[in-house]
Amino acid sequence: MTGRYDKLARWVLVLATVAITFWNPLQALAADPAGSWRQTYDTVMMWVNFTILMALLVKFIRQPLRNFLNKQRDAIKETMDRLEAEKRRLEEDIQSLRGTLEGRKEKAADLHQRIVAQGQDERRDIIESARQEAERRIAKAHQLIEARHLEACQTLRNEMVDTAIHMATQEFSKHMTPAIEQTLTDRFLKTVAGRQP
């Protein structure tokens, strides 16, 4: 507070100096050329009036000026406090947003890893399923090939037996005579008769 009063006193002194500087030339223009007691009286009264004016100004302006300056100081302090509080709130909001952003980044990275892992699991499952299906189809094809091979072999055997019988029959019929046929028939009948109880 004393610093402000010193400033106020300096301003009063500056104003007084300026007033005296501009008042002396005006006094010289209004002075009586003969140089009488009136000049001394006017000078004294001017200084008395100036002193009274300055005392009144100091008395009546000092308190309102002090109040005005105090109000300005309080308003500036309040504004600074409000701005500091707003700054702190904004910094907290920024920190909160940074934390939220970091959390979301971590969640996104975790989600990405889970999606990649799930995709790899599904890929493995698909590959395993396709492998099992391929093995099943290959086994079925092998079974089908084996069955057709057996069937073809059986058909070939049957055809070979039929062909052999046919060829044997043809060859046998060429060499068969009624005497051989009678001998074979008798032998067959004796074999059958010997087996009966």
> For 45-60, what is each residue's pLDDT tens digit?
998 999 898 888 888 8
Choose between 57 and 3: higher pLDDT: 57
Choose between 133 and 31: higher pLDDT: 133
CA-CA distance, 118 to 109, in Å (whole number)?
Answer: 14
Choose between 4 and 53: higher pLDDT: 53
Q: Please check whether residue 50 is in contact with residue 66, taking contact to mean a CB–CB distance below 8 angstroms.
A: no
pLDDT of residue 27: 52
pTM over 0.75: no
Nearest to 73 by CA among 10, 140, 4: 4
> At residue 32, does pLDDT exceed 70?
no
> Per residue in 171-182, is it b (16+ CB within 10 Å) or e — as a string?
eeeeeeeeeeee
Q: What is the mean pLDDT of residues 78-88?
A: 94
Q: Count other Cβ atoms within 10 Å, centred on residue 38.
A: 11
pLDDT of residue 184: 77
Choose between 128 and 28: higher pLDDT: 128
> At residue 74, does pLDDT exceed 80?
yes
**How does pLDDT run across 5-24, given as a tens digit for each residue?**
667 667 777 677 766 766 65
Chain centre distance of CA 125: 30
> At residue 82, does pLDDT exceed 90?
yes
DSSP classification of residue 34: T
> At residue 185, does pLDDT exceed 60?
yes
**How does pLDDT run across 136-182, given as a tens digit for each residue?**
888 888 888 888 888 888 888 888 877 877 777 777 677 767 777 78
**What contacts 50, CB < 8 A, 6 or more positions away?**
16, 19, 20, 23
Confidence at 75, pLDDT banded by 50, 70, 90 = very high
Q: Give Dmax (Cα) for the chain.
A: 205
> At residue 195, does pLDDT exceed 90?
no
